[in-house]
Each structure stands twice: as C-alpha cells, then as structure tokens.
Amino acid sequence: MKQVTYCIDGMHCASCELLIEQRILEEKGVTAADASIGNKTVTIIGKNWVPSVDQLNAWFKEDGYTFGRTPIRKKREPLLYVVEGKQGIQLDRRELSRRFHMLGRVAIVIAVLWLVSRLGLSQYVNLGNSSALGLFFVFGVVAGLSSCAALVGGVLLSMTKAWNEALPKEASLPVKLVPHLYFHGGRLFSYAVFGAILGGIGQIFSFDSAIFYAIVTMSVSLIMLLIGLQMAGVEWAERFQIRLPKSITRRISVSDHALHRHMPFAVGAGTILLPCGFTLAAEAIALSSGSAARGASMMILFVLGTAIPLFLIGLASIKGTEQPKRKRMFSFYAGVVLVLFALYNTNAQFNVLGWPSVSDVLARGNTESRAAVSKSPDSPKGTQILSITAKGFEYTLTSGASIQSGIPTTLLVDNQGMVGCGLYMASRGLIPGSVALTPGMNTIDLGKPKKGTYKISCTMGMVAPVVVRVI
C-alpha cells in the first residue's frame, strides 16, 4: 500500500472536498482519498500506485485547483513597488483596477439590497380581515422581495450550500431542486397549521415574545455570518465548516433522497420561528379571522406568494454553482449578501433588545432635536405625554425625547400609513410586549416608567429606533 499527502490551493467549500475525492477515486488502484479544506490537503492511498502532483494538476486544471508537495502560498501583488533608477516608486495600475472592480461589484450588491428595502412595496398592498384571499398571495410576493428575503432568503442560501455539497457533481437540476421543494413544502405545512390554530383559537396566542424571537434570529444570523464568510473566501472562517459528517455525505447518491426530504422539510417548517413584519401582519389578520379554515387559507396563500422570490433565490444559487469558475464567483457574491443579511438582522435585534446599534446614528439627530421633557396642556394633571408620528417606514418624535420617571405616561402614536413590521411597535422595558398600530391615533399606556434609556422600534427592530430617556 502507498500513501501520500498533497497540499491544495483553490478549495473554498466542502463540496470541493467531495469533488476532488470522487475524481481521484475513479482511478484504478486508488483505495481511499480524503480531502480537507481546513488543512488544505488531500491524502491518497493506493494499492501499488498513487497519482503524482503533475497528474492531479492536469486532471483538475479546468476546476481551478492546484496541487503541490508543500503548502501553496498565494502570490499577493503589491499596489506599490520600487523600480531601480529614475522611475522610483511605481503604482501597479492593473492591480489597482482589479481591486476597484471588485469593490465596485460589492457596492452594486449593497446598493441593490438598499434600493429594494427603500421601495416600500408593502404600501401598495393593504390587508384587512375582509380582504380577498388573493391579496394575501400578492402580499406574500412583496414580503419575499423585502424583509423576508433577509431572514428566510438568508437561511435558504445557507442551506443551499449544504444541499449542493451533499449531492454528486453530476446531479441534474431536477434532483438539485428536490430539497428546495421540500423546504417550501415544510413552510407551507407549518404556516397552514399555525394559521388554522390562530383562526380557531384566536386571542390565546400572542406575539409578545420579542426577546425569544431576537435570540433565535441572532443565533441564525451568527450561522449565516460564518457561512457567508466561508463562501466569500475568508480563510480563517473556512476552518469552522458547518456540515454533515463525511461518513454521511459520501454515502449519499442520486437515488437516495431521504436526507434531501426530511431535513429541508424540517428547516422550512422551522422558519415560522423567524417572522418578519409582513408575516406578523398576516398572522395578526389570521388571528382576528375567527375561522380555522380562513386563517389557514390566509397563511397558505401568503407563503405561496413568498415562495416565488425565495424559489428564484434558490434557483440562482443552484445555477451559479454548476461550473467551477462561475461557482467561485457566485459563492463570493452570495457570501457578501449573506454577511450583509446577517449584520442587518443582528443590528435589528440589538434594537429590539435595546442595545447600542448602528441605527443609533440615524436616531441621534431625531432625538437630540427634541431633548426637552415632554409636557402637554391637554394631558390630565400629574401625567405626561410622549407622542410619535408613524409614516412609511419611520417613527418621528413630535414631543420631547425625555420624560420623568415615576409619573403616569401616555404614548400617542399617529399612524399616518406605517408599513411592514412598523405596524407592530415595541420597546423593551417601556412598552409591555408589542402594540399593533391601527390607522389614526393610537393611545398606549406606559404606566410609570423607570429611569433608563429605551429604544422604540418595530418588533423586528428594522425601523430606525426612536430613543427615549427617562430621567
């Protein structure tokens, strides 16, 4: 028996390990092959023969992998270099142009995501208990193009990576789509059941578990961040692969669909624990429907609507990873999107929990301009008023940002057309649970607030928070 270990450059995910192992095991006389993205090596065992470095480089040339007997260090091209003589220090314009092109593409990704979030598409779809069921489908499509894409779309991108890694390289598109169909089937099942429960039981259920949702969302976002960094090619992140054991993935064949059914179905069903503002709106209407059948129908049509954009996200992920070169490019940009989604979701949950966040920069100007203690000539003696206008996707203080502790306080919210999760106002420690805003003036009893600094945002923390100080 012969055994040899070679170093590899060019691996970026666990599917690279499987591709390399499967190709090497096709050779007669090779009995075992074990590739490791963490160590960037492959160990090959053969009866009387093992392939050489030159043979491996020839086999994998088109796939972009390079083999060597010693660690392969990437040559980093410097932007500035010294040339002897009068020329002195020179700028590598070609390398500078390459880096600017890369930054430009990342900037385009960020700009597109920002533009979609600012479109406010939900303002064109207004739902109520008496709305036609077809509107819930349209509302779902809008949700899938906005905040649900950040939550569920990020989970789907992460899972697509794992599903693709567990399938053979030659798997057809219909086979690769099977996990996605079960994922959406799981979502359809869980939302239908929950919708029926909401419609049948009504007020027994509430959406006040903001802290629970924040913890779940941040946990998922942490995993999304790690996977995103891996897909973008960050070397230290590649050592922390989240995947099934090789003993399982190596045994998976195109005819073995058990793993590609149960796990995606369960993950899809579990996304009900990640409700975005649109989901909360649909669930609230199902809650007030008073009918199990109507509540289930509302949620089924809503999920079917979200499935269209989410399915396109999954399909783009599959098509983007079919060819090695295109796969590396798609992996990078999908990784950038995942990192942005993870940071966006985490920042939002910091708002929910009342912790310092990037959103505070946007909120500071709104708060500092109204720092006086709130008073109102119309308020009863011994009470104080805090007032906010809710419009579009923004909360604006229309009173002072500071109130006295220990004094009965009323929060007046003038809803002039709030959309998305902004319809569900929350503030940990200040507002008990969450409040569903109705059109027009909303009166919220804050009791006798305790000293501290509080953030008023939506239940998902995606609305730039209003900061209130109780002194």
Would you list the domain boundaries of the chain?
2-68, 119-353, 360-470
- Contact indicator for 305, 146 with CB cutoff of 8 Å: no
Highest mean pLDDT among 75-84, 336-345, 370-379, 420-429: 420-429
Confidence check: pLDDT of 341 > 90: no
Q: Which residues contact 83 (CB under 8 A, 6 or more apart)?
A: 89, 90
DSSP states of 333-359: HHHHHHHHHHHHHHHHHHHHHT---TH
At 24, is the pLDDT very low, low, confident or very high (cuts 50, 70, 90)? very high
pTM: 0.67
CA 366 to centroid of chain Cα atoms: 28
Give the C-alpha separation, 108 to 92, whole Å: 24
Which of these, 84, 177, 135, 161, lies nearest to 337 by C-alpha position? 161
How high is the pLDDT of residue 360? Answer: 82
Lowest mean pLDDT among 114-128, 256-270, 380-394: 114-128
State the Cα–Cα distance between residues 47 and 1, nearest whole angstrom: 4
In this structure, the chain runs to a length of 471
360-470 has the same fold as 2-68 = no
Fold of 2-68: Alpha-Beta Plaits (3.30.70)
- Residue of higher predicted confidence among 175 and 374: 175
CA distance 75 to 350: 40
- Starting at the edge strand found earlier in the chain, the sheet holding 424-427 runs 402-403, 466-470, 452-458, 424-427, 431-436
Backbone angles phi, psi at 358, to 5 degrees: -65, -30
Beta bridge partners of 373: 402
Top-ranked range on mean pLDDT: pick from 32-46, 129-143, 201-215: 32-46
Q: Is 8 helix (H, G, I), strand (E, B) or coil?
A: strand
How far apart are the C-alpha atoms of 279 and 170, rounded to whole Å? Answer: 38
pLDDT mean across residues, the chain: 78
3-state secondary structure of 471: coil
Is residue 395 scored above 50 in pLDDT?
A: yes
Topology classification of domain 360-470: Immunoglobulin-like (2.60.40)
Average pLDDT over residues 111-127: 60
Place of tokens 């009470």: 383
pLDDT band (50, 70, 90) for residue 258: very low
Q: Which residue has the tokens 């501290």?
A: 452
Q: 311, 182 in Cβ contact below 8 A?
A: no
Backbone angle region of 451, left / alpha / beta, with phi > 0 → left and psi within -120 to 50 → alpha: beta
Distance CA 207, CA 209 (A): 6
Average pLDDT (135-157) is 75
Q: Are 424 and 279 in contact (CB under 8 A)?
A: no
Q: What angle do CA 66, 68, 70 make, to 5 degrees?
A: 135
Distance of CA 32 to the CA centre of its chain: 38
Whether residue 174 is predicted with pLDDT greater than 60 in this model: the reply is yes
Rounded distance, CA 454 to CA 466, Å?
Answer: 8
Q: For residue 193, what pLDDT is reported?
A: 93
> What was the pLDDT predicted at 257?
47
> CA-CA distance, 426 to 285, in Å (whole number)?
19
Compute the distance between CA of residue 267 and CA of residue 151 in angstroms, rounded to an integer.
13
Contact status, residue 7 vs residue 67, Cβ threshold 8 Å: yes
User: What value does the mean pLDDT take over residues 8-36?
Assistant: 85
| pLDDT band per the 50, 70, 90 thresholds, residue 252 | very low
Question: Tokens for 437?
Answer: 């805003």
Gap between the terminal Cα atoms of the chain: 78
Number of helices and strands in the chain (H, E): 14, 15
C-alpha to C-alpha distance for 180 and 173, rounded to whole angstroms: 11
